[in-house]
Structure 1
């Protein structure tokens, strides 16, 4: 019996009913022990013990070469095909080019840069089933790549870093009190961006939100807005508000002014429009207009005309 050879097991109470294939075993190790009777005059003897596996199971020797290990994180550059600013797959993974990789560097390289690595996962602040946060590093970004358990075939991008080419969005250290996010419109110029800025300088605290084009806000239930001082709204085009139920504007102190500098003002009510100051009021309905006050003054500098099928003046007097 030698390691590597096979044998068929027979006359065994647990395996005699097995198929011939299941009774075929391959020897892995064999320990031989024998004794003779040259000195003792006793009977000679031989015994062995061995380890084996079924012949149908492929044998793989235990690897003795230590697994390559990457000690600590490295930085790399996100790469993609020419003309692509964002190169990713359905899991938000990207491909990177390590600084020490010479095979995909230079114009004479036979390997494309987007083939420099496998798809590398990107760590996010939250990643769940169909919800979470997402930020995909763009081509040219310098990212920090760690390796799970130090294994080179398990890379993971854990962050991004600025460098002399990719500088922070705000000048530092002049704006060191500012933090936030500034994106960049893909295939756009340097002036096209969305941003969310927090200014934490005491006495100048503010939050600035900029949408490069459209901004959509949806509230499925209630919304509350509280402004402690002044509020200014500037609309460069048209302004439309649709209220399904009631709408009210209350000015506690000061005046309410509604001014149009080019066209007229159209105030429409389906059943009634009431203009009231104290006890004086004008009530307009689809059938009539009623004026009520302690005194009514009509002054026409160019003339006054009262016209109707029937005109009553002091009818009850």
Structure 2
């Protein structure tokens, strides 16, 4: 007995053996018993599972030619059930036999494009709301979801290795780390925040660098129950006195010069100055009126002023005065006794200072 076709009546095998009930074309009603179906690969708890839908046309063979022992060996399209056409691709793709597809009843699709040099494999849901693409021409893998993408490795790790990494978040971002977090940057690290920036820690916060600049276009506030300034800040030292005549207070003379790695201290006339500043008012008889003064100027290695730097001045009587350099990196302290003063910049690291 040769091959015949039939229509699938039922495909929900109560014994889960993937059998079908079919009706032959010469039957007006009724159906066969549960009939086995041939598939490319079968075995215990394994195999290819593609059952025909109800009303599909199938091809039937008979074991040993016995009409009582039918086997469904495949499905066929007909005038009613036609082959699918992908609206996303041209008619030429199918005509050239360059596109292979597996498409389910609802439209879930596995598509293989065999165009020479432009091979692509795509898996997508109906309407392509979610899809994965492997593109041999672009050497790229693309992943798309209209809503969520979930990556989980509860007992392992997730690694991303690439040349450049770009993250573009249109709204909010949230990162939660229950253990330690370490970030290593070999080059520069820039954080640009348009709104406010808040960093909070339940324990110690340490910021370390060869040079730390704190710049504020408006008010800068440091608030705490106890604020410590690094006691190892550089102290400027000049062993020989500097005479500061009242007529020309800027002409100081330096015994030796110290220079920081990123900054130097200069006076306005004589050159580099760093350290204790000794001076004497020319009118010694009026020294009780505390008419003496001292000027401080801080510039970098290129001679450019360093503005808004905090300074600490120890007076000859042991008292201390502190303040902030102006926009030109200068400050003047008036009304002090003649003698030797010591000036330091507590926000600068001592290791950055070296002799010229």
Identify the TM-score tier after normalising by the shorter chain: 0.5 to 0.7
Which secondary structure does the structure 1 equivalent of 2:39 belong to? Answer: coil
Is 1:157 the counterpart of 2:83? The answer is no
Higher relative contact order (CA 8 A, sep 6+): 2
Aligned residue number for residue 178 of structure 1: 99
| CA distance in 2: counterparts of 1:274 and 1:77, whole angstroms | 64
Distance 1:289 1:98, change over 3 A: same
| CA distance in 2: counterparts of 1:268 and 1:148, whole angstroms | 63
Which secondary structure does the structure 2 equivalent of 1:289 belong to? Answer: coil
Which secondary structure does the structure 2 equivalent of 1:290 belong to? Answer: coil
Equivalent residues of 2:58, 2:74 under 8 A apart: yes
**How far is 1:183 from its partner?**
1.0
TM-score, structure 1 as length reference: 0.55
Which secondary structure does the structure 1 equivalent of 2:7 belong to? Answer: strand
Equivalent residues of 1:87, 1:138 under 8 A apart: no
The number of residues matched between the two structures is: 212
Aligned residue number for residue 29 of structure 1: none
**How far is 1:263 from its partner?**
3.0
| CA distance in 2: counterparts of 1:126 and 1:231, whole angstroms | 29
| CA distance in 1: counterparts of 2:49 and 2:212, whole angstroms | 68
Distance 1:270 1:302, change over 3 A: farther
Q: What does the per-residue CA deviation read over 1:100-149, in whole Å, with 9 as the maximum and x for residues that have no partner?
A: 33xx1xxxxxxxx3x23232211111222332222222221111111122
Aligned residue number for residue 5 of structure 2: 75
| CA distance in 2: counterparts of 1:269 and 1:87, whole angstroms | 48
Is 1:120 the counterpart of 2:35? The answer is yes
Is 1:262 the counterpart of 2:171? The answer is yes
Aligned residue number for residue 193 of structure 1: 107
| CA distance in 2: counterparts of 1:149 and 1:116, whole angstroms | 21
TM-score, structure 2 as length reference: 0.50
| CA distance in 2: counterparts of 1:174 and 1:275, whole angstroms | 49
> What residue ranges of structure 2 are gaps of 5+ in the alignment?
131-135, 191-198, 234-356
| CA distance in 2: counterparts of 1:293 and 1:136, whole angstroms | 68
Equivalent residues of 1:280, 1:293 under 8 A apart: no
| CA distance in 2: counterparts of 1:182 and 1:286, whole angstroms | 56
Which secondary structure does the structure 2 equivalent of 1:149 belong to? Answer: helix
**How far is 1:178 from its partner?**
1.3
Distance 1:174 1:155, change over 3 A: same
**How far is 1:158 from its partner?**
1.0
| CA distance in 2: counterparts of 1:229 and 1:173, whole angstroms | 24
> What residue ranges of structure 1 are gaps of 5+ in the alignment?
1-69, 81-85, 105-112, 185-191, 216-225
**How far is 1:193 from its partner?**
2.4
Superposed CA RMSD in Å reads: 3.7
**How far is 1:167 from its partner?**
1.2
Distance 1:173 1:312, change over 3 A: closer
Is 1:207 the counterpart of 2:121? The answer is yes
**How far is 1:166 from its partner?**
1.1
**1:1-317 equivalent positions in 2, closer than 5 A:** 70=1, 72-80=2-10, 86-90=11-15, 91-101=17-27, 104=28, 113=29, 115-170=30-85, 174-175=93-94, 176-184=97-105, 192-211=106-125, 229-243=139-153, 244-252=155-163, 254=164, 256-263=165-172, 265-266=174-175, 268=177, 270-271=179-180, 273=182, 276=185, 286-317=202-233
Distance 1:316 1:231, change over 3 A: same
Which secondary structure does the structure 2 equivalent of 1:144 belong to? Answer: strand
| CA distance in 2: counterparts of 1:73 and 1:156, whole angstroms | 10
